Each structure stands twice: as C-alpha cells, then as structure tokens.
Structure 1
C-alpha cells in the first residue's frame, strides 16, 4: 500500500536542526525545501492500487533518494548508506538524525514499478515543473553535458546461441510457431537444451552448424507473412531476421545461394549482443574499457547539480553518440527552449562539427574541449602542419610539396614521400602520406 510522509517533524529532524548548513542553491537545499511539491503522495498512488500490506516508502522520500542516487552515481547499497550516515541526504529526504535507511532492494522494487507504469518519467517531469515554477535556475546560464555507460545484467551471446534462441522465441510467439519449426527448421533440434554437440575448435564443424541454423531461419522467415503479425509475434519475426543477418556472410567461394554460411569476419556497427535484451549493445568508454549495456545522457546546471534533461539510448548505433544525444537534450531543457543563451560545457566527444554548428546557430557559447589532432607518427606532423589553400584546392606538406585535392577531399603524396628528409616525422606507410579533409575544412 502507499506510504505517507508525516506532516509533523520528528524531534531530531536534521533539516530543522541544521538545515541552515545546506549550501544555498544546492540540490540538497532544493529537495529539502521542495520535496513535497516535487513528489507528493498522490504522485505515486497508481503504483500501489491495493490498500493492503505494509506501507511503502513515502513518495517524497523515494523521489528524493532516486534523484540523489542518479546525481552521485551510487549503487543501491551505497545509496542506503548515504541516507543513513550523510546529514545532507537526511535533510533533503526529511529524515531524523537517528533514522536508518530502508533495505537497498527497495530501490530495485520502486524502479521496476515506475518502469512498468504509464508514466515512467514522472520524477524527471516533476523536477522540470518545480524548476520552472520556483525559478531556481533563473540567471544561471551554464549547462554541462555528459554521458555514462549503464551496464546490462544480461550475458553476451555468441552468434550460434543467438540464432538458436531467436528460433525458439519464434516458436513461442509466432502463431503455430513450433509447427512451422517442425516443418522448416529441420536442421537442428531446437527443443534440446545446452550447447550444440560439435567440436567447437573445428572451424568446419562450426561453419556447418552456422549454415544449418541460418538456412532454418531463412526458411522460417519465408514461411510467414510478416504483414499479418502483431505484437510479440512481429517482434519475434524481426528478431530472427536481425540475428540471421547481422553476424553471418556467405562462406568462402559461395554467394549464399548454395546454403553455405559462416560467421562474418567483421563486427556489425549496431550489433545486438543478446536476444534476452535486444536493445543492449557493445559500448566503449575507452579503447580498453569494453562494456555492454546502454548509455545515459544528461544536461545539468553545474552550480546546483540539478539535471534539467536526461535520456537513455542504445550504447551504439544511430542516435547514441554523445553529440547527437546532447544536442537533442539541450533543446529539451526548459530554460533553453525558452530562448535563453547558455554556455555549454562538455568534453571532446561533443565537439563534432554538427554539434558546434547547432550551438552557434542557437546563439550558445561552446566551452568544449577540442579533440586532439591525430598524428600518423607519434609526436609527428598533424593535419595542421599542412598548408591548405581552399581557393586553389591544394594541400602543401611540411617539405613544400603541393598536391591537388580530389573531389572527395583527398590529397595523396604517394611516391613523392620517397627520400623525403622529414618522412620519419610524417608517415610510416609504404605508399606515402594520404590525407582526407573533412567538409568543414572548406
């Protein structure tokens, strides 16, 4: 049942005892003052329609805790500890000095209910309303953009596992799916559990199994009219089509018509990594930090820490880049949409030409760390060391050699690099230095 926050303060209420110690304008002071307006009890009543059972955590408390957790990037366990031992959290959430936090799994319970509700973004919407009503960000003309990877709990699946899982889902969700599998999916026993019984270190055996699974998938897809499918059935059909195409290619010496397939010698840019969670993707925060999941993007006012817009995207693929998501979120910021011009703080991932052009067109000031120029040789020449003449359409290298830029923006020095006295600082390529100019250079 829905919990309610008591109107009467407790004897050792932290906000009453030491509320003046909260930094004015901080998110802690903001929540302490506006917690009940942000997250009234009525806001969460639809999540607890039953009047039975023990009362849940009051809406003003859980809303404030979820905001602070997201702001500080804490785990559920660390969040519970912060609510127990950090006086700023207690003041923001209306806790008394001697109050202890609820169990960490309560946060998982609440997030699950919110996600399944008809208004999963109600907390962010409530913050936007109160920010607009109170004018707490009035006169604050700076916004910080950032993103982080949200790790997924599902295990990464290989191509063979995905193909088998997608066929099984086809059997479960498509009308008469298992009957179709018995007729068209004759290459493998999809009802059996465990890994296929093959020699996994035998390349020919793996290729033969992949061929069987792909041919079964294609036969099943051809046996069904996708236009007649809806809901889960349509999703299962699309999933099977995606899995059957994203990781495979015709075997060597085959065009695919003879039914011979192999795992592709490349990675699809927008590769689905698990049929359990089809939206999860590979993510790279750095070259060495490889993770799986989603990307969370935010716009925040750096002085107060108040998040003014947020979104979650796939970790890779269209719309997932920091610049793409950041530009959309900045446009959704209530203060910015009202015509305010702001200073935008961000790292180099946001410094794309399209992003900078968008900011300039809107009258904003970009305080974005520029991307470092890449050098073909460590410590060697970068593109800035080449003289560009846009009128003549030429590029001159540090040794004084000039080449005409092609229609595709390329300049090739090729054989002229042989014997060049500064070649060691320019390129290690046997065919000489090649440079491709971005359209923005013009």
Structure 2
C-alpha cells in the first residue's frame, strides 16, 4: 500500500454532536483529542510507505488506534470493532458515524512496517515531540530509570523438547521455501518423528530410552546439515535463519564421534545466555536475579519526575534478559539526548551506578547520576576492627601508600585493563609478615604482604565521597525521588500487561514497550490536565500503626 497524506481535519459535525451528547464531560480519548488534535500526521510515517500503489488506510489514524489499543488492552479485532462501533473512537479519529472501519489485519501490517523500518519507538517519540512543543516536557529536568523482566511469548522448553523442536522448525522452514528438494530427500521415518509439535508426554519415559532418542535426533540433525552443505546449489536454504539456529544448537549440545553422536553433559554447555531456549524466539534468554528466574527480556523504563509537570515516560530500552543494568546507561543517555530531553539529574539504583558515571566529565551532556554506589565487597570493609582501603593514607603525587602501622608501600604499578585502568599497590613482605595486627589486615596464609587495588585518583576520590554522602540524611532525602519509578513499573505490569511479551523477538518486544509507554503517557497527561492527583504509596494497616 502507498501513502497519500491526509490531514486529520475537523470532526464531522454529526459525530461531534452525538459523541458530546453521550459523553458530556468527555473521556480520556476525547480529552486528548481536544487538547492536542490527532498527535500524529501522515508525514511522520512517509518513509514506511511506497509512493505508488493502492492507497493505505491513513497512518496517523493507525498510529492513534495502536496507542488506544494498548491504552485499553484490546486485541487487533477488538480495536477494529471499537473503530466501527464506539463514539469516542470515531470522535478522536475524525470519522463519520457510519464509517465501516477496516480489517483488523491492517494493524498487524502497520506494526510490521514500524519494525522493518527500525522505528519501533516512533509512536512514543512523535508523542514526546508534541508534548515538548507544548511545554509539558523539558530538557535539563529530573528523570529516573529502572528495569523489569518481561517473559517470552513462547513456551519454555525442556532440553529434550528444545532439540527436537529446533530440528522440526528447520524442516518446516525448508518445506516452506523448497518443498521440491525436501520431500524426495527426507527419510520416511522423519514424518512420524518430527511431524507434530514436540511435547514432553510424547518423549520416551525412561532415561535410557530418552538418551537413545536424543542421539537419534542429533544424528538426524547432522544428516540434514551435511546434505545442505554438500549441494552447492542450496545456498539459499543454508542461509535460512532456522538452519543457522539448528547449526548453533547442535554445536552447543552435540559432539560428533567416529561411532556416532554424543550428547554433551550439562556442565559442558557453557553459560545460559549463550544458548537460546526456543527456535521461535531465539532472542529470549535465561536470566536470574536473586530468587527470580525467567526466559525473555528486560525493559528499562525512564520517566520524568519534576514536581510541576506530568510524569511522562521518555524512553524504553529492551535488551536480552541477562544484560546487566549498568550497560544500559550509555544507550539511554544517548537516546534522551537525541530526543532533546536530556536530564540534569538522573535517579537510578545501585545496579546502574559505576564510579565513572559519578563524574559528570565522563558524560558529554553533563547529566548528574544520582544513585548509591555498591559497598566495598572485601571482608575488611565488613568487620569494624579490620583495615579497609580507607584506613590507608594515599600520596598520589609520590605514588606511595602508608598503612595504619606506618609502613610505606614498596611498589606502585599502573595496569591498563580492557575497560579500565587500575593501580596495584604492594607492601614489603618483611613489613607485613611479623606485623602485630596482620590478622586485621590480611588473611593470606602463604605469608604474602597486603596488596591494594586502586582506581585513578579522580575516580577513587569520587567513589569515596559518594560512599560517605549516601549515608547522610540530605542525600537520602534527595534520592527518595527515585522510588516513584517502581510505581510506574507496577502500573505497566498490572494495568497494561508489561510482564508478558505479546510478540516474538526483541525488536517486537521493544515495539510493545514503546506503545505501552505511549498509552501510559496518555492516561497520565489527561489525569494531569483534569487535576486528578497522583496516587500515593499504599501502606498496610499494620505498618500504619507505627505513626
């Protein structure tokens, strides 16, 4: 379908009259339209549509429908029905009362255009642009970020199911692309073995029989890969994503031997994040955080938190589940800068804070990262009588360190590591070996002297200052602002289905998170315009007795 831009125009008179009679005070959707019009224009999506061909249904309407769909948690069919039958939707979309709407599959096609065009956050970003022009969103304000886990949309497979289903997915892909090659080649027994979805109850019951079955699956997989490699004319088939996944799975789980195939032991498989669980969503990986385990993704939400303006979500960042929170800081700051909403103060928890992030000189935008830095992990910092690093006097100019007993270090070595520079400080063995307070300083049973690992001076002093400040009441009062992001995550999970991915793949999960963020912004903005106060933290009746 091609794009023939259409302005959103005025609401048909009859539609406006009937809608106003039915909703005399308006509702969320109508109030948003009254304040901002349609939010989107067809030109915002011009790059996603060809110039020639059958005219497409107006993209600005599809964009609004997608946001309203997430606002009310509707399916594609439900959203299409709402366009045909609901007065408030016709009002917001400037449609006639008798407009017949569209087929629900148009919404899926529209989302596919967003993903294929690498603009999964276009709906959110265009909305933020309008809000910024209206003065509801500003740069150099206060923002906060936190993450939550998102479960994959496909079922989690056992190892046995995973291997058989990966081979089955490869066969289905080949049957779709080149059935004429596959049908005469494939052994007859494979139709019975891989013709149906693999589930646990279809597997052999005993452990020995299951091992025999998996070895057979491994041999079948290698046989298929060998057949594809031996024929030079099958380049297209070898490049199919399902074949790449089959090759990767067999590399991890099987070892070819002269007498057959050996299934690798679980200890040989390597870390979980290197392996996919399902061929239908290979980007969904395993992760564990404290006592929570899941397969899927992680979404970082960033929102404004200025007192005088509505709290709007400014960015969502979707990553594989195993990725550390601290790795999200740079892409989040880059995205906020591109949207012209760079914060002056950014509130985060300790998982996002590195020593380097505390120094504004390392951030081109000068954003102050406000969050607690992790405690010193060494045992000396946990015992009150032990000598932690803070007990030593450091002379940076002389490149020397003096211990609590007055001994001066013997060596000062600067080492360049892949991601950082460290300074190794060593004391003389003769000073430490017979030291009367040695047990308070080191537990090295081999008699070696105490060694310290330091950061460069600027980083070391910034970390020390942060650890000192974050225990004071002024810093704690200021940092209390970060806690509100947990309410946003709760709202996304409980009211908008953030916890469960609707679609397969990281980019489609990013699209879902972006649409969900736009829907939350609509609700919050209308609440702010109507003067509805923000919710406060709920306190149980028992906890309230303290006051």
Q: Give TM-score, length-normalised by structure 2.
A: 0.53
**Could you give the per-residue CA deviations for residues 211-262 of structure 1, whole angstroms, max 9, x where no partner exists?**
443343334323324995448961011110222233x365xxxx95663232
User: Which residue of the partner structure matches residue 275 of structure 2?
Assistant: 271
Q: CA deviation at 1:208?
A: 4.7
1:327 corresponds to 2:333: no
Task: Map 1:293-442 to 2 at 5 A.
Answer: 293-303=296-306, 304-316=310-322, 320-333=323-336, 337=340, 342-353=344-355, 355=357, 360-362=362-364, 363-376=366-379, 379-380=382-383, 384=389, 387=392, 437=453
Relative to structure 1, is the Cα distance of residues 66 and 189 closer, same or farther in structure 2, using a 3 angstrom cutoff?
A: closer
Aligned residue runs from structure 1 range 20-39, under 5 A: 31=32, 34-39=35-40
Whether the 8 Å contact between 1:298 and 1:310 is mirrored in structure 2 is: yes
Q: Does the 8 Å contact 2:381/2:387 carry over to 1?
A: no
For residues 380-419 of structure 1, give each alpha carbon's deviation from its aligned partner in whole angstroms, at most 9, with x where no partner exists: 36964574867768796999897968868678999x8999
Secondary structure of 1:352's aligned partner: coil
2:125 is aligned with 1:125? yes
Give the equivalent residue in structure 1 for 2:481.
none
Distance in 2, Cα, partners of 1:178 & 1:403: 75
SS in 2 for 1:295: strand
Richer in helix (by share): 2
- 1:242-261 aligned at under 5 Å gives the runs 242-246=248-252, 248=253, 259-261=261-263
Q: Distance in 2 between matches of 1:229 and 1:364?
A: 50
Aligned to 1:14: 25
Contact 1:147 1:297 in 2 (8 A): yes
| Contact 1:300 1:309 (C-alpha < 8 Å) held by counterparts | yes
Are positions 1:182 and 2:187 aligned together? yes
Q: Deviations over 1:48-93 (max 9, x none)?
A: 9899xxxxxx7686455467x5xxxx9779xx9xxxxxxxxxx999
Equivalent of residue 239 in structure 1, options 234, 245, 248: 245
Alignment partners' CA distance in 1, 2:233 and 2:445: 54
Q: 1:216 aligns with which of 214, 217, 220?
A: 220
List alignment gaps of at least 5 residues for structure 2: 1-7, 79-87, 93-103, 461-547
Call closer, same or farther: CA 1:218–1:59 in 2, change over 3 Å.
Answer: closer
Distance 1:436 1:392, change over 3 A: closer
Higher mean C-alpha deviation, range 389-398 or range 228-237: 389-398
CA contact (8 A) 2:30 2:91 kept: no
Question: Is the Cα–Cα contact under 8 Å of residues 228 and 238 in structure 2 kept in the other structure?
Answer: no
* Distance in 2 between residues matched to 1:130 and 1:155, nearest whole Å: 39
Q: CA deviation at 1:110?
A: 8.9
Structure 1 residues 375 and 129, CA gap change in structure 2 (3 angstroms): same
In the TM superposition, 1:78-157 aligns within 5 A as 112=108, 114-118=110-114, 120-138=120-138, 140-157=140-157
Q: Distance in 2 between matches of 1:65 and 1:93?
A: 12
Q: What is the alpha-carbon distance in structure 2 between the residues aligned to residue 64 and residue 31 of structure 1?
A: 12
Query: Distance in 1 between the 2:41 and 2:139 partners?
Result: 28
Quick check: 1:36–1:60 contact (8 Å CA) kept in 2? no
RMSD value, Cα: 5.6
Given that 2:143 and 2:304 are in contact with CA atoms closer than 8 Å, whether structure 1 keeps it comes out as yes
Tell me, in whole angstroms, the C-alpha distance in 2 between the residues paired with 1:383 and 1:31.
Answer: 58
8 Å contact from structure 2 (residues 272, 285) kept in 1: no
Structure 1: runs of 5+ lacking an equivalent = 20-27, 52-57, 81-90, 96-107
- Deviation of 1:271 (Å): 2.6
The total of aligned residue pairs comes to 385
- Separation of aligned partners in 2, 1:240 and 1:422: 57
Match of 1:159 in 2: 159
Which secondary structure state, in structure 1, belongs to the residue aligned with residue 38 of structure 2? Answer: helix
CA contact (8 A) 2:62 2:107 kept: no
> Structure 1: how far apart are the matches of 2:340 and 2:304?
15
Shift of 1:282: 1.9
Contact 2:400 2:408 in 1 (8 A): no
- On the 8 A contact 2:140/2:343 being kept in 1, the answer is no
Contact 2:152 2:297 in 1 (8 A): yes
Identify the residue that residue 105 of structure 1 maps to in structure 2.
none
Change (3 A) 1:123 1:197: closer
Q: Distance in 1 between matches of 2:30 and 2:392?
A: 55
**Length-normalised TM-score, structure 1:** 0.63
Shift of 1:369: 2.6
Whether contact under 8 Å (1:150, 1:295) holds in the other structure is yes
